[in-house]
Amino acid sequence: MLGWLARGVPALAVAPVLLGAQSRARKRLGVCTYSYHLHWEVLRRGQRNGRFTDTVGFLDYCHQLGAGGAQIAIDARQPDEARRVRAKAEALQMYIEGQVSLPGRESDLARFEAEIRAAREAGAAIVRTAMLSGRRYETFASAEAFRRFTEQSWQSLKLAEPVVRRHRMRLAIENHKDRRAAELLELLRRIDSEHVGACVDFGNNLALLEEPMSVIEALAPYAVSTHVKDMAVQEYAEGFLLSEVPLGQGALDLERMFTVLEKANPSLQWNLEMITRDPLPVPCLTPGYWATLAGVPAPALAATLTWVRRHAAKQPLPRASGLNLERQLASEDANVRASFAYARQLRAAASPHTRSRRFAFS
């Protein structure tokens, strides 16, 4: 892993979530909480060897990195957490986006509304969610099982929409290795609400045999939030491996992605999701993978494998499992810092005469 660190249709109208008078043209890269999932895990286990010890401390740490904001879950069970997060964010002039879980049934609505209320009290106008915690091709063994999921997630969204509308929030649904872009677009058009849009993840849909740039272009008109990442790929016997790497060290055309999304919605915040973990296997050459993807045409498989071969990493993909805890935590932090270094370089290279100026980071 450490080897990777050595190399250097209008959108929904969303008011800027920045706290303070920060210029759109100089927005700062923010941090999604999953960029520090290893640190949060040691905290959940009661250990204190991470870089922060609570949500407010996380904001402080992100600010030290140069972050403009954070996408985080606000614990509605702690009465003062929302107030403390808002006060800290305002003091540091950072934006806040929330993270919530959709209601599974009517009996879950009170919990969901409490999370929405807490996010709003913390200063968020946008909350990110995902309809599936896992990956489509690993979670479901049959087309029928996936069909039941799609129906259940539709019912969840129908329950959630009136709540976010009532609280004047925006719900951003991530393309989370569950729906291909057209399937997510169908869902967004079906709910047809100005309070529901997309949290556009830059790399997830590679796992569903979609070229990353085409996904960005398809979802951009509905983008209200982002998960910014870079991806490295390599073939293996059953398909290909997919790995998050620091920004600028992977295969994605990040500048073009920023440009397309910024044009669609100038108010978007860039939330870094740099997950430090082992590469994810995408077993697209096995029968089980196709149980829920039978409708994907063969040319999509051919195009994806061609893309993988063209962009294949020249060195082994980074792994976390072979490192002890301290090195895992250090690697996670180093990966985030390397991504912020890329953002600073992008800004330094920008000028009024280049497209980069449109999304320059401060």
Cα 71 to Cα 34: distance, rounded to the nearest angstrom: 9
Instruction: Write down the pLDDT at residue 79.
Output: 83
Q: What is the pLDDT of residues 282-308, one digit of tens each?
A: 999 999 999 999 999 999 999 999 999
Q: Are 85 and 99 in contact (CB under 8 A)?
A: no
18: helix, strand or coil: coil
Cα 241 to Cα 307: distance, rounded to the nearest angstrom: 13
Q: Is it the case that residue 20 has pLDDT exceeding 90?
A: no
Bridge partners, 223 (sequence order): 198
The predicted model gives 63-68 an average pLDDT of 97
Instruction: Supply the mean pLDDT for the chain.
Output: 91
Cα 202 to Cα 229: distance, rounded to the nearest angstrom: 6
Domain ranges of the chain: 2-359
Q: Is it the case that residue 352 has pLDDT exceeding 90?
A: no
CB neighbourhood size of 274 (10 A): 24
Q: What is the pLDDT confidence band of residue 349, given thresholds at 50, 70 and 90?
A: confident
Q: Is it the case that residue 357 has pLDDT exceeding 70?
A: no
Q: Which amino acid is at 118?
A: A
Q: Are 174 and 127 in contact (CB under 8 A)?
A: no
Task: Provide the percentage of residues in the chain whose pLDDT is more than 90.
Answer: 86
pTM, full prediction: 0.90
Bridge partners, 281 (sequence order): 241
Instruction: Write down the pLDDT at residue 18.
Output: 24
User: What is the architecture of the domain spanning 2-359?
Assistant: Alpha-Beta Barrel (3.20)
Structure tokens at 335: 């990966």
Q: What is the pLDDT of residues 21-60, one digit of tens each?
A: 334 445 789 999 999 999 999 999 998 888 999 999 999 9
Q: Is it the case that residue 278 has pLDDT exceeding 50?
A: yes
Bridge partners, 227 (sequence order): 201
Strands (DSSP E) contained in 202-267 are: 223-227, 230-236, 239-245
Q: Is it the case that residue 3 has pLDDT exceeding 50?
A: no
